[in-house]
């Protein structure tokens, strides 16, 4: 009786290398699996190469002897100008069987648009030239060395972390509901969004917008406008060259800028301290407001009085506006040594 409830314990696991020739140029690729990992890259070749790994557990595995018996679970084919890899059969709950199909795919350089979809599994893509869309429901996504100058790179996971490195595109968007985001060395206009997780973005040539509901934000070296918002978490910024909006509801804000301030800044927290470390010759008008804290620092001639403080002070000609406010916390504005 108990063996019936547990179901069959049979298991098959195997892998197969496949090479497909193409009829004419293929400009698109679409990879879709339900349970399994996707790895993909491009190379100088005229064929498509795949390493397919299949794992079957339960009743279905009882009659499987080799990889020829599981070829019905997946397909690799060309449809017009599109290379298609797809998992054909998924987990069968009524029989207690599970099917996992993972693939390592090498595409020719003629492909300039790639779509990757996994419901339960990680996605890895590297050395891609062209537009890229990667989406997994449960799993991490790791994207590196992608060049899509006239296209976009779009990355999504409902439950998983995102790692993005060495990307050049017109636009990069990355979103996860539960997980951290790490980004490094990117030339693009970037939007990063996580509901529950931290964001770490370094060396961005372009605009950058970061959003987290619950998590800290860290930014280093951004050439374009910056917008960083989180509800619960601290914000740390180093070297922002243009306009900046930094906003957290519960957390501190710390900015260290070695380069000149070349735009207007709005820095705000409801519950937390704010610290600005700036060049001594910064040309800006400072508006500093705290409802429950002191204002200190050696950059501006300020004498804080009590716990409610509201100052407006020019440094140099006051070219740019630096608007700083915390409801409950101190403000420090100091010069770089």
pLDDT in tens, 226-254: 999 999 999 999 999 899 999 999 999 99
Q: Which of 129-138, 149-158, 294-303 has the least mean pLDDT?
A: 294-303
- Using pLDDT thresholds of 50, 70 and 90, give the confidence band for residue 92: low
Does residue 2 surpass a pLDDT of 90? Answer: no
Residue 93 pLDDT greater than 90, yes or no: no
Q: Is residue 273 part of a domain?
A: no
Least confident of 66-70, 101-105, 265-269: 66-70
CA-based radius of gyration for the chain: 26
pLDDT tens per residue across span 96-133: 788 999 999 999 999 999 999 999 999 999 999 999 99
Q: Is residue 303, in this structure, part of any structural domain at all?
A: no
Q: Is residue 156 part of a domain?
A: no
Q: Which of 130, 40, 118 is nearest to 81 (CA)?
A: 130
Is 306 within the bounds of a domain? no
Q: What is the DSSP string of 308-337?
A: -EEEEEEETT--EEEEEEEEES-EEEEE--
Residue 108 domain flag? yes
d(C-alpha 288, C-alpha 285), whole Å: 10
Domain interval for residue 109: 9-121
Question: Could you tell me the pTM of the whole model?
Answer: 0.92
Residue 203 pLDDT > 70, yes or no? yes
Q: Is residue 114 part of a domain?
A: yes
Query: How much is the pLDDT for 15?
Result: 94
- In this structure, is residue 70 part of a structural domain? yes
In Å, the largest CA–CA distance within the chain is 85
d(CA 65, CA 61): 8
Do 124 and 146 contact (CB within 8 A), yes or no?
A: no
- Residue 30 forms part of a structural domain: yes
What is the separation, in whole angstroms, between the first and last Cα of the chain?
77
In the predicted structure, residue 3 carries a pLDDT above the cut 50? no
* Number of independent structural domains in the chain: 1
């Amino acid at each position: 009786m108990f063996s019936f409830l547990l179901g069959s314990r049979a298991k098959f696991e195997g892998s197969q290398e496949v090479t497909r020739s193409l009829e004419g140029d293929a400009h698109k690729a679409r990879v879709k699996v339900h349970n399994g990992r996707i790895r993909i890259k491009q190379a100088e070749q005229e064929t498509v190469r795949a390493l397919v790994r299949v794992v079957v557990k339960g009743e279905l595995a009882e009659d499987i002897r080799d990889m020829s018996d599981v070829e019905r679970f997946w397909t690799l084919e060309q449809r017009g100008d599109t290379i298609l890899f797809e998992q054909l059969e998924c987990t069968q709950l009524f029989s207690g069987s599970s099917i996992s199909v993972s693939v390592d795919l090498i595409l020719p350089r003629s492909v300039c648009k790639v779509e990757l979809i996994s419901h339960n599994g990680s996605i890895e893509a590297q050395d891609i030239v062209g537009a890229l869309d990667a989406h997994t429901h449960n799993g991490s996504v790791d994207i590196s060395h992608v060049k899509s100058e006239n296209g976009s790179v779009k990355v999504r996971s409902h439950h998983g972390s995102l790692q993005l490195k060495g990307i050049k595109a017109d636009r990069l968007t990355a979103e996860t509901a539960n997980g951290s985001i790490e980004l490094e060395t990117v030339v693009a206009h970037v939007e990063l969004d996580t509901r529950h997780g931290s964001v770490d973005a370094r060396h961005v040539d372009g605009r950058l917008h970061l959003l987290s509901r619950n998590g800290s934000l860290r930014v280093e070296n951004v050439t374009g406008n910056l917008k960083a918002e989180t509800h619960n978490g601290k914000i740390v910024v180093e070297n922002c060259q243009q306009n900046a909006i930094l906003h957290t509801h519960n957390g501190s804000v710390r900015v260290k800028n070695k380069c000149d301030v070349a735009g207007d800044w709005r820095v705000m927290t409801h519950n937390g301290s704010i610290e600005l470390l700036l060049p001594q010759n910064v040309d800006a008008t400072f508006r500093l407001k705290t409802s429950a804290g002191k204002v200190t620092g050696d950059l501006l001639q300020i004498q804080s009085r009590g716990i409610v403080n509201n100052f407006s002070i020019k440094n140099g000609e006051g070219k740019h506006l630096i608007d700083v406010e915390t409801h409950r916390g101190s403000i420090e504005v100091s010069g770089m040594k």
